[in-house]
Amino acid sequence: WNSLPNSKREGKLISNLLNAKLLSQNEAKPKAIKSASNPKVLHIASHYNLLDKKQDELININPLMVSRIPLTGANALIKDGKNDGYLTALEIAQMNLNGTELVTISGCESALGKINIGEGNFGLKRAIAISGARSSLLSLWKVNDKTTSDFMISFYKNITSGVSRSEALLITQKEFRNSSNPDYRHINSWGAFQLSGDWRKIDFEDEEHILKLDNYKHLSLIHISEPTRLLSISYAVVCV
């Protein structure tokens, strides 16, 4: 997997907006994300991988295992038996996200999944809904690393200002459409991310569903490694 150089800036700024603890490097493993129970917000920035195999090879595979997010260890030549570096849609579906307001997967085509005739799309969107999360923000097509980072930073600035999820997305899209940068004005830059589920604002002061973890109200997981370390470049912000 290629590096995502803008994830470092994105992770730091979003974690600051959420008043989050920042964990880096090898701490951003799938296990660390799966261990977060009922986070208020789960934000993952990485690549997204939808396995492309012939139908007959997938007959005996749970379709939610076809959708994967590469994290720490995904590029390792020698795999750790307990960590292959991938967080699958099936693993997300098995998480406890009943109190989670928003799950964002900031990466290319994260809204796509395996299509089963008569059953629909089996991917991250379905997995997030099964997990109990109230809303998701996923991309419909390939997105640029820097553009997406800027988009997400703007979105979280808006959502933490007190507006609703849908309004925060609309404001961010409008900012991009009115940008002096012609690349940002293109629909490819501002139209990729689709909000599904609860559109209302998130009350970051509501403690009803907040789990205290290491005495931090917000926990941010960030993985930023050099390409020579053979690890994927990705981060997750877990607001608990």
pLDDT tens-digit readout, 200-215: 999 887 644 333 333 3
Q: What is the pLDDT of residues 146-171, one digit of tens each?
A: 999 999 999 999 999 999 999 999 99
Residue-level pLDDT, tens digit, the chain, 240 residues: 888 889 888 888 998 898 766 666 677 788 888 888 788 888 888 899 888 766 446 556 788 888 999 888 887 766 666 677 889 999 999 999 998 999 999 999 999 988 877 777 889 999 999 999 999 999 999 999 999 999 999 999 999 999 999 999 999 999 999 999 999 999 999 999 999 999 999 988 764 433 333 333 344 444 333 222 223 344 555 554
CA 171 and chain centroid, separation = 20
Nearest to 93 by CA among 119, 121, 131: 131
Beta-carbon contacts of 100 under 8 Å, excluding residues fewer than 6 positions away, are 38, 39, 40, 41, 42, 131, 132, 133, 134
Task: Give the phi and the psi of residue 155 in degrees, each rounded to 5.
Answer: -60, -45
Q: Which residue has the tokens 């799950």?
A: 103
Q: What was the pLDDT predicted at 201? A: 93
Q: What was the pLDDT predicted at 62? A: 84
